[in-house]
Structure 1
């Protein structure tokens, strides 16, 4: 049996604009900063995680598309980022057509799992998969490959409605193709302490989901929003800003939960 990385975490939410890619980039950077070996798999055809880590589109000769098609392995595709210990499998628009290309294949939802449960992947202690903002074959591949799902949730009125749909999807994947899949945690993003509605959403989510919700709140932060345009994670762009500090705290929580899981 092939080796496997210590932990594969899919970062997913079918709703766009919730800070999913920002969370993937900055959580990965924070984990790498404390010495973990981390790989991001960019599964979103828009390729925002790749752009946000400074990978120019002209330099994406191979991508996660090639991984899913089985023509190349992780070691062929992975590009080192400006962050020590952090590599990425970049994304290209080719991913838009993959659903039609492999729709008739019996292994269509297992493509990513097979690639990540390989000797190539074993060198990484964490693999974070950044999904598109929809539930499609790419997201199914990500959840089928993952040990757990981390859900960024924006502090807004319809947050819980969208979350219940996502939790049903995770349950469906668990029942059909990946019985060991669990919820790594819910991370509340774009929090504005001046907004009473945001505080109400935080309280509602904690009431419904309890310990599944991370203690760390990711605030709305201009510096975090600016960072991708410079091809940098916020933690490299401005380490001292509130958003960067929050992602460092989130990384600590993720690692703490992993230790508890292993000890259980």
Structure 2
């Protein structure tokens, strides 16, 4: 049993200013990290004060809906320079369970790092192309991108697009064609290493500080290609019931890939998402995750937020859509911590 949280994690927004305080959650003392036998049942034992609320859970106003132009171009937040890692950090953002904030985490962390002056590449491996949408990159039928790299052997450098979020943020877009790639790759020689080969070729002439793979919510050949090409894994975990379901299977896949195809692969980061401080269960899930991934879990959580959900519909991350929102501040804090750990651990 873990120690209860002592304070609400997310303070209510000030409606007049749009500002909100972000409190971090310190890991409980004396807990060892494990990656096996992750429980999926959560006993609710930690009360959270009822007055604590998440970031702007109210629906958008009619004025905001009627005037998307006014919402779509806010002033960009001022980001202090972030430390660069000595070597490229190649991170898979994966979770077999859908709806955990995987794509949202990919695009917002990538954008925050780029705004901090780092060179970032996002490779969209999800046929839905949601990461491409959120980063303002065209991915309609006929757009060349990840499919052509995997199946036709096209060079990444010929297909990447600069995102409107930052000039040093590049995106390899995904289209619906990727849905067929799972089947088409089955008969391809060395199918699990095609993306790795293409990425290494690209990085020789186009060095980057960070590469992020946004994977589909499955453990098929698209995700396998990302796991072979990466050296780190970032798992977003939703602060809700059954949140840990599927993590055990993902860990088994990671261990298989590490043993057979990529011995550099390591689970480096866990990020808690969709935290609702008004629910008792959210606090319990936080404790469960920290107990099993003590070293990997970031000290901040991402709140459940309407602003985070709205941003992609404008082709933006929450960092540009609502830079003063709690969601934006939380993702900025997470990006700072990821950059700090990368610079420290690899120095």
SS at match of 2:91: strand
Cα separation, 2, equivalents of 1:27 and 1:158? 25
**Structure 1 residue aligned with 2:222:** 138
1:66 aligns with 2:148: yes
**Structure 1 residue aligned with 2:117:** 35
Indicate if the aligned counterparts of 2:138 and 2:173 stay in contact, CA closer than 8 A: no
Indicate if the aligned counterparts of 2:232 and 2:268 stay in contact, CA closer than 8 A: yes
Which of 95, 103, 113 is residue 13 of structure 1 equivalent to? 95
- After superposition, residues 195-210 of structure 1 pair within 5 angstroms as 195-210=279-294
Cα separation, 2, equivalents of 1:18 and 1:86? 24
**Residue 184 (structure 1) shift:** 1.8
- After superposition, residues 207-222 of structure 1 pair within 5 angstroms as 207-222=291-306
Larger Rg, first or second structure (1 or 2): 2
The structure with more helix, counted as a fraction of residues:
1
1:98-149 Cα deviation digits (max 9, x unpaired):
1222212231000111011114464211110000011100000000100101
- After superposition, residues 62-141 of structure 1 pair within 5 angstroms as 62-84=144-166, 85-120=168-203, 122-141=206-225
TM-score by length of 1: 0.94
Indicate if the aligned counterparts of 1:217 and 1:246 stay in contact, CA closer than 8 A: yes
Structure 2, unaligned stretches of length 5 or more?
A: 1-86
SS at match of 2:127: coil
Cα separation, 2, equivalents of 1:59 and 1:137? 21
**Structure 2 residue aligned with 1:194:** 278
SS at match of 1:211: coil
User: Which stretch of structure 1 is more off in the superposition, 118-127 or 234-243?
Assistant: 118-127
SS at match of 1:160: coil
The structure with more strand, counted as a fraction of residues:
1
User: Which stretch of structure 1 is more off in the superposition, 224-233 or 63-72?
Assistant: 63-72
RMSD, matched Cα: 1.4
1:36-89 Cα deviation digits (max 9, x unpaired):
011100000000011111223348621101111243111111001112211100
**Structure 2 residue aligned with 1:22:** 104
Indicate if the aligned counterparts of 1:74 and 1:120 stay in contact, CA closer than 8 A: no
Cα separation, 1, equivalents of 2:224 and 2:301? 28
TM-score by length of 2: 0.72
1:1-52 Cα deviation digits (max 9, x unpaired):
xxxx711101001111000000001000000010001110000000001111
Q: Report the count of equivalent residues.
A: 259
**Structure 2 residue aligned with 1:163:** 247
Cα separation, 1, equivalents of 2:274 and 2:246? 16
1:138-187 Cα deviation digits (max 9, x unpaired):
00000010010100000112122322221111111111101110012110
SS at match of 1:235: helix
User: Which stretch of structure 1 is more off in the superposition, 92-101 or 138-147?
Assistant: 92-101
